[in-house]
Amino acid sequence: MLDLPGYPASDLRYLPREQVVAALDEVDCVEVTAQALRRHALGSTILPDEAYLPWQTPDGHSARSLGMPGAIRTDSGLDLGLKVINASLGNPDRGLARSQGLLMMFDPETAYPVCVMESAYISALRTAAVTAVSAQRLRTDPVGHLAVLGCGTLARAHLRLLPAVSDKLQTITLYDLDRSRAEALADALRADPDTADLTVRVEDSARACVDGADLVVTVTVTTEGYLAPEWFAPGALIAHVSLDDVLPEVVAAAGLVVVDDWGLVSHDDRRLLGRMWRAGTLRAPDGGYRPDATPDPTAAQVHTTLGDVLADRHPGRAEPGRLVLSNPFGMSILDVALGARVAAYAEEHDLGLRIPR
């Protein structure tokens, strides 16, 4: 039978999770993320719609695969990649992490994959890095009290990055529907030299957890809002990572609502802000309503993007005492930005495995 043309003998580099962790330890995730957000605001990125495959597992759990490509033009060239990140809600019951996947980095000229790496670790770290950037740019005061709702992988990623960002941090409060998860995380924080000096408390309710906090991070799997505006301390920053935790009244009460990308948020019809946009109870950053929605004169508003704040196009400040809501949908370009640094570090130090094409 006829042969098909092959490929050059160059290998692919493959990085298992352990090597991704090692490489990312050498990267300033918060700074790389801030730079990528800024480049996005300045139009130096390509952020296509993601591919979304949902299914029911044989055991009856919801599972999904996301395929998220992205590109960023940098000073030295073009960073290109595609993140695949899958999740099954049945995994935690099996003692498995909910998500896993692979991030591929591409050669800008041949388009061939050149480096493949485990993607869930990068994905968690870049999500936490966006919260860290928000804490730096959307607050005037450093964070003294951090509240974390949900105590899974994303909580740990946040608690890995955030203590280094605020030198005034004194208190961490934790809440999870499964108290044992919160206790396990509290124990880990008390045992960790980076956080051993802090007060760490497990709370009995979400309300007790957010009470008095300067920064509230939601990293749950809820699809229904439960956080009311009067629960928060005046001027608190809410990093609404899991996207469905706050009630619509919180969005309406906030003095500043910031997203990562208005297109991503408004095109989505499953999460709170997308639903509000469809219902006419949320206005776009330009003040307009969705053309086919019935305008609600009391509608809340999205004010700006985090990238525009970083690019100094928006002050990123609310009136003193008013809530600030950051609602990051999640962008592949941040994974690509970090993946490019990881790939470069791996190349330089010959980390990982060389695998044939």
- Which window, 103-111, 171-179, 251-259, 267-275, contacts a second copy (CB under 8 A)? 103-111
- Asked whether position 5 contacts a second copy by CB under 8 A, the answer is yes
Any contact of residue 67 with a second copy (CB under 8 A)?
yes
Asked if 329 touches a second copy (CB under 8 A), the answer is no
Shortest CB 208 distance to a second copy, Å: 23
- Judged by CB under 8 A, the stretch of 81-89, 217-225, 255-263, 288-296 that binds a second copy is 81-89
Q: Which stretch binds a second copy (CB under 8 A): 1-9, 34-42, 270-278, 293-301?
A: 1-9
Site string for a second copy, 135-164 (x = CB under 8 A): ------------------x--xx-xx----
Q: How far is the CB of 173 from a second copy (least distance, A)?
A: 16
Shortest CB 351 distance to a second copy, Å? 13
194 forms part of the interface with a second copy (CB under 8 A):
yes
Instruction: Please report whether residue 172 would count as binding a second copy according to CB under 8 A.
Output: no
> Exposure pattern of 9-40 as b/e (b: 16+ CB <10 Å)?
eeebbbbeeebbebbbeebebbebbbbbbbbb
Instruction: Establish if 18 lies at the interface with a second copy (CB under 8 A).
Output: yes
Query: Considering the rule CB under 8 A, would residue 71 count as an interface residue with a second copy?
Result: yes
Write a three-state SS string for the chain.
Answer: CCCCCCCCCCCEEEECHHHHHHHHCCCCHHHHHHHHHHHHHCCCEECCCCEEEEEECCCCCEEEEEEEEEEEECCCCEEEEEEEEEEECCCHHHCCCCEEEEEEEECCCCCCEEEEEECHHHHHHHHHHHHHHHHHHCCCCCCCEEEEECCCHHHHHHHHHHHHHCCCCCEEEEECCCHHHHHHHHHHHHHCCCCCCCEEEECCCHHHHHCCCCEEEECCCCCCCCECHHHCCCCCEEECCCCCCECHHHHHHCCEEEECCHHHHHHCCCCHHHHHHHHCCEECCCCCCCCCCCCCCCCEECCEEHHHHHCCCCCCCCCCCCCEEEECCCCHHHHHHHHHHHHHHHHHHCCCEEECC
Please tell me whether residue 188 binds a second copy under the rule CB under 8 A.
Answer: yes
The site that binds a second copy (CB under 8 A) totals a number of residues, namely 77
Site for a second copy contains 4 (CB under 8 A): yes
User: Cα–Cα distances in Å, from 31 out to 129, 133, 258, 305, 334?
Assistant: 8, 8, 19, 17, 11
Q: Which stretch binds a second copy (CB under 8 A): 111-119, 232-240, 247-255, 306-314?
A: 111-119
Taking every pair of C-alpha atoms in the chain, what is the biggest distance, in angstroms? 74
121 binds a second copy (CB under 8 A): yes
List the interface residues with a second copy, window 33-52 (CB under 8 A).
46, 48-52
| Cβ proximity to a second copy, 25 vs 319, nearer residue | 25
Which member of 27, 29, 37, 116 binds a second copy (CB under 8 A)? 116
Stretch that binds a second copy, among 84-92, 168-176, 215-223, 318-326 (CB under 8 A): 84-92
229: contact with a second copy by CB under 8 A = no
Establish if 57 lies at the interface with a second copy (CB under 8 A). Answer: yes
Minimum CB distance to a second copy, residue 126 (Å): 13
Instruction: Name the minimum Å distance from CB 119 to a second copy.
Output: 10
